[in-house]
Chain A
Amino acid sequence: MEGSLATQQATRPAAAPKRERDLRADLFRGLALWFIFIDHVPGNWLANLTIRNVTLCDATEVFVLLAGYAAGIAYGGTLLREGWLFAAAQVVRRVGSLYVAHIVLFVMFTAQVGYSAAALQDSIYIDELHLDAFGQEPYRALLEALLLRFQPAFLNILPLYIVLLLQFALTLPLLRRPRLLLAISCALYGVTRWFSLELPSWTGGGWFFNPFAWQVLFCVGLTLGYRAPGGPGPLLVLPWWRSLGALAVAWLIVTFVLLYMTWHRPEYAVQVPGWVMSWWENVDKTALHPFRLVSVLALTYLLAHWVRPEARWLRGAAAWPFVLMGKQGLPVFCSGILFAFFARLALEYSDDAPMQIGANLAGLASLVAVGWLSDWYKKRERTPRREADPALAERAA
């Protein structure tokens, strides 16, 4: 969905070496984080309004692409200033905090599931579900969770993110060689899909999101985000071609129509030709089917062209909460998974209109609050000395 700077930079002359923050990326990342919150609450009425209803891709694709974009900016800068080892250490530190966040969330979810399951114990109704894998083999489940091989529902994006960042720590220097990076990445994607490679999961099958496939989207994001020393634009630029734009629009329309006929109104599916259906049925999310990949890239290409980075509404009040959330993507993402958990509990208790409205308002407000707080904290962290020094000086005088 969002802001590849590619097209914009192609048309703008290299003016300032100091890079301005692209609010489009923040805005769309913020929206994706909100959608992830919504889609993580089954039964949420707002789930009918997120982008997965109109395109093949959903908020996960947007999030991964923009996570790559943000990583390209942040660690690309460190790579230039401090070198590979330092930048990689920084990435690994981030992986560490993500891992801790994942384990904390896992413990909370498991405790809740165990408690609820015990409360419903006398109901054979949910007997077959035995959601409570932890209750059956606690030690094994704990071990598998630590190994990321046991991923309870809704705890599958963080493990993906962790593996993506680990891969990134190894391939950091390739940021300077984007063609090589993309070639390797696409090759890995192709091999993964062709040979059905996957990371095993304890419960059988593979991971919910296959990192070897999803890395391709992350790497595209990296390439879009990284800036060469002194240069204002990315190393690889895909300029705006009207024909390519038209193709992207056509793709999104065709997939929307197919989605409408098969998903929203299955009774029309009979009218879709068989050969189209045989393609369509294989569109998987686990290993990021090429159709999904093309959809998110097409959306990115169009939005990067149509939404101008200098657009005034990006600085307006309506965009503000989402830009703020997008700027602080990581803390907002982690807390969003937690808030979604609370929202699920709220809807389990009751899912009438007041609760739906309340849970969604509280969820969005909490996400914005986390964004605001992290933003404020980081700003404070960056500027304490200047404020502190005069005070010290006064006292010393």
Chain B
Amino acid sequence: MRRLAKRLVVAMQAGALLALLAAPARASICDVPPELVDSPVPLEATARGLRRGVLRVLVVGSASVFGPGGSGPDAAWPGQFATRLREGWPGLRVELEVRGARGMMADEMLAMILAVTTPRPHLVVWQAGSVEAARGQDTDWLARRLNTGLEALRERGIDAVLMDQQFSRFMRANSDVDSYRDALRMAGSVHGAALLQRYAMMQHWAESERIDIERTPRERRVAATDQLHACLGRALARLVLDGAADAGAPSPDNAQRPGPPQSDAAPRP
């Protein structure tokens, strides 16, 4: 009897250990292919903010910043992003400001970005290019505004993360979305701003049948939208924390971050 009990305990311990080992390997809904997230851009100001324990973030974008179709503004990706940051960095105070409106284009967003006052944000997350793509605005128009905004942010020492369009089969069939994605990608890379590849991530989730709002029945759509925003917030938090770690902020989990040898993180003059 005692032997049996002893065996049982060992088996349970082994099981627990196995479960522990298996846990990180089990696919989470939010997982994305590594090439979508593994190219961090150093975020100097964010690293500074993290070290001081206060991070001021300005989010500018069109409708999606308020999470339409979800259960409420807190469930939208900016709020989820802040929550993940606090989780990854216990004790951090995240001062989040979200600005934007449905149908807003880059010119109005640019005005908001140029109007930032003290205390300056450490980080601006700029979700752009959706409305331009839908309306067929010329891509040069968009690129000029992105360039102006990103340049201004760099001059003021504020980090920038761009976020591209949502993936939607309807939109892909009816608008030249790739040209606008390219414009964002180009502007980001030229100005050393990170790009959250929302389109590619959402396409991955849709194609792997994890989150596919366009094909989710209406009664489950609110939950699916919340799930989408939670995953986006998580991805954004990872991008930002990786970028901060790249700029010298200690990694929150003190883990060795795999990746290519770090280039010198000095921003271009």
CB within 8 A of A128: which of B62, B186, B207, B225?
Answer: B62
Separation in Å of the B260 CB from the closest CB of chain A?
Answer: 8
Closest to B146 in A: A281
Question: Complex formed: what's the CA distance from A209 to B173 in Å?
Answer: 21
Q: Identify the closest chain A residue to B189 (Cβ).
A: A266
Q: Which of B19-27, B134-142, B247-255 contacts A (4 or more CB under 8 A)?
A: B134-142
B185 within 8 A of A: yes
Kindly list chain B residues whose C-beta atoms are within 8 Å of the C-beta of A152.
136, 174
Given A263-B186, A286-B138, A153:B214 Cβ within 8 A? no
Q: Please, which residues of chain A bring their CB within 8 A of the CB of B166?
A: 125
> B30 within 8 Å of A by Cβ?
no
Interface string of B141-185 (1 = CB under 8 A from A): 101000100000000000000000010111111111110001001
**A266-B195, A269-B192, A281-B186 in contact; A151/B171 too (CB < 8 A)?**
no
Which segment of B43-51, B63-71, B88-96 sits at the interface? B63-71
Q: Does B269 contact A (CB under 8 A)?
A: yes
CA distance A200 to B65 in the complex (A): 30
Q: How far is the CB of A61 from chain B (nearest CB, A)?
A: 15
Answer whether A128 and B130 are a contact pair too, CB < 8 Å, given A266-B188, A274-B268.
yes
Say whether A131 contacts B174, CB under 8 Å.
yes
Give Cα A347 to B168, complex, Å: 11
Interface residue? A287 (CB, 8 A)? yes
B207-226 residues at the A interface, CB under 8 angstroms? 207, 213-214, 218, 221, 225
8 A Cβ contacts from A153-212 to B: 153-154, 156, 201, 203-208
CA–CA, A208 and B179, complex, Å: 11
Contact of B174 among A113, A122, A127 (CB under 8 A): A113
The residue of chain A having its C-beta at the shortest distance from the C-beta of B179 within the complex is A285
User: Of A40, A109, A207, A269, which contacts B189 at CB under 8 A?
Assistant: A269
Number of interface residues of B (CB under 8 A): 55
Question: Which of chain B's residues have a CB closer than 8 A to the CB of A262?
Answer: 186, 189-190
CB-CB nearest in chain A for B175: A153
Contact residues in B for A204 (Cβ distance below 8 Å): 105, 135, 137, 141
A123 engages B188 (CB within 8 Å): no
A128/B140 contact (C-beta < 8 A), A153-B174, A277-B268 known? no
Distance of B136 from chain A, by nearest CB (Å):
5
Q: Is A237 an interface residue (CB 8 A)?
A: no
A130 touches B186 (CB 8 A): no
Given contacts A284-B140, A285-B139, contact A129 B171 (CB under 8 A): yes
Contacting B at CB under 8 A, from A32-53, are 40, 42-43, 47
A128 and B174 within 8 A (CB): no
Known contacts A152-B136, A203-B136; is-contact A270 B263 (Cβ 8 Å)? yes
Q: Interface 1/0s, chain B 71-115, versus A by CB < 8 A?
A: 000000000000000000000000000000011010000000000
A206 to B269, CA, bound (A): 32
Check A43/B172 contact, CB under 8 A, given A281-B191, A284-B140.
yes
> A338 CB to closest chain B CB, in angstroms?
14
Residue B187 is within 8 A (CB to CB) of chain A in the complex: yes
The A-contacting residues of B in range 222-269, CB under 8 angstroms, are: 225, 260, 263, 268-269
A330 to B164, CA, bound (A): 35
A125, A156, A266: the one within 8 Å of B39 (CB) = A266
Residue A345 interfacial (CB < 8 Å): yes
Is B174 in contact with A123, judged by CB distance below 8 angstroms? no
Known: A42-B178, A129-B130, A271-B263. A116 touches B170 (CB 8 A): yes
Residue B131 CB within 8 A of the other chain: yes
Measured between beta carbons, the chain A residues less than 8 angstroms from B269 are 274
Most buried by B among A112, A281, A282: A281
B174 neighbours in A (Cβ, 8 Å) = 109, 112-113, 116, 131, 152-153, 344
Select from chain A the residue with minimum beta-carbon distance to B102.
A128
For B140, give its contact among A109, A266, A267, A286 (CB under 8 Å). Answer: A286
- Report the bound CA distance from A321 to B185 in whole Å: 35
State the CA gap A271–B189 with chains docked (Å): 11
Q: How far is the CB of B215 from chain A (nearest CB, A)?
A: 10
Does the CB pair B140–A153 fall under 8 Å? no
Contact of A151 among B130, B131, B136, B147 (CB under 8 A): B136
| Distance of A269 Cα from B64 Cα, bound (Å) | 29
Q: How far is the CB of B222 from chain A (nearest CB, A)?
A: 10
- Given that A42-B176, A153-B175 are contacting pairs, would A120 and B190 also be in contact in the complex, using a CB cutoff of 8 Å? no
Nearest A residue to B150, CB-CB: A281
Enumerate chain A residues within 8 angstroms of B172, measured Cβ to Cβ.
42-43, 344, 347-348
Specify which chain B residues have a CB less than 8 angstroms from the CB of A269 in the assembled complex. 189-190, 192
Cβ contact within 8 Å between A133 and B135: yes
Do B190 and A123 touch across chains, with their CB atoms under 8 A apart?
no
A113–B135 alpha-carbon span in the complex (Å): 13
User: Which A residues are in CB contact (< 8 Å) with B135?
Assistant: 131, 133, 203-204
Contact of B138 among A129, A201, A270 (CB under 8 A): A201
Q: List 16 A-B contacts (CB under 8 A).
A: A42-B172, A109-B174, A124-B68, A127-B69, A128-B134, A129-B168, A129-B171, A152-B136, A153-B133, A153-B174, A204-B105, A262-B190, A280-B190, A285-B140, A344-B172, A344-B174
Closest 4 CB pairs of A and B: A128-B63, A266-B189, A286-B140, A348-B173
Q: Other CB < 8 Å A-B pairs besides A128-B134, A130-B134, A263-B189, 10 of them?
A: A129-B170, A131-B135, A133-B135, A153-B174, A156-B136, A203-B137, A204-B137, A205-B138, A206-B141, A267-B39
**B residues bordering A, Cβ < 8 Å?**
39, 41, 62-64, 68-69, 102-103, 105, 130-131, 133-141, 143, 147, 166, 168-178, 182, 185-192, 195, 207, 213-214, 218, 221, 225, 260, 263, 268-269
